[in-house]
Amino acid sequence: MPRWRTWRRRSRSNRQTVAVAFVDQGYTGAEAEQAAADAGIHLEVVKLPGVKKGFVLLPRRWVVERSFGWLTRFRRLARDYERLPDTLRGLHFLAFAILMAQRFVQLIAGLL
């Protein structure tokens, strides 16, 4: 059984849901659309403008790049050291929890 299917089953049992997935043009096709539909996810393909000169920033791409930038501040996540995907998933969860806790403390300190 492919790994993505076992992950999808585990995520359903944990009541985690994803409604919309922003993907690039590599995910256009019947197979990707069918896999997303089976999981109950709507794929929204972010396309490049028709005529482009040089570097063009894709819409919503900055959200992903910003998140990757935040994660690289954690030394263990800067390289792929982990053997098990569950360990890596847990470390990502921990890193984002730490980032959110820091933001929360800053927000509370600003209100006092």
The predicted-structure confidence for 63-103, as pLDDT tens digits, reads as follows: 777 888 888 888 888 777 888 888 888 998 999 999 999 98
Contact 46, 59 (CB under 8 A): yes
pLDDT at 51: 60
Instruction: Assess whether 74 and 45 both reside in one domain.
Output: no
Instruction: Assess whether 42 and 64 both reside in one domain.
Output: no
Instruction: Assess whether 24 and 45 both reside in one domain.
Output: yes
Instruction: Assess whether 44 and 70 both reside in one domain.
Output: no
**In-domain check, residue 54:** no
42 beta partners:
20
pLDDT at 64: 75
Q: Is the pLDDT of residue 1 over 50?
A: no
Residue 112 pLDDT level (bands cut at 50, 70, 90): confident
Query: Looking at the 3D structure of the chain, how many domains does it have?
Result: 2
Q: Which domain holds residue 21?
A: 1-49
pLDDT in tens, 7-38: 445 555 556 677 888 887 777 888 888 888 88
